[in-house]
Structure 1
Amino acid sequence: MDTILVTGVTACACVRQTICDGIADGFRTIAVKEAIGDRVPGAVAWNLFDIDAKFGDVHTVDECVAYIDGLATQKIAAE
């Protein structure tokens, strides 16, 4: 399965919509927790909670980097 790591500036709009679009197109979507912002106080926390509960996964930057590093290891092992 292909995966999209999502970052962005507006959690309640473009980030959320990108995650929904990714799921609709058959991708696994991961919101990168520390790389998402918003102008409205509390919007990031609420949207990440809702995204994690309904749509995609929410992971830290460290977890996402480890995931990407793991892909490189898998590719080397397959060769």
Structure 2
Amino acid sequence: MSDPHDHYHDDFDDGDCWNCGGEGRVNHCIDGCCVDTDDIYCDYCSKRCDVCQPVKPNPELQQILKDALDEASAIVPHDEGAHD
């Protein structure tokens, strides 16, 4: 399955990400209190753009979660000696 972001295209912005403008980071300054609001690497306000720089899943963690779900969804054998 292909990533939907691989095919992103918009004629109005030359293909740049609509969320960050192609910078890869976004700022969420609180009430304009930043000393330098143009610093896309501000430790307090900036974060990775979730649209064009999504977090890649960790394969090891994915396998652990899959195993846990498989175990949790396994059919529990019925104890024939138990009375209802």
Larger radius of gyration: 2
Normalised to the residue count of structure 1, the TM-score between the two structures is: 0.29
Give the strand-richer structure, 1 or 2.
1
- By relative contact order (CA 8 Å, sep 6+), the higher-ranking structure is 1
Normalised to the residue count of structure 2, the TM-score between the two structures is: 0.28
Give the helix-richer structure, 1 or 2.
1
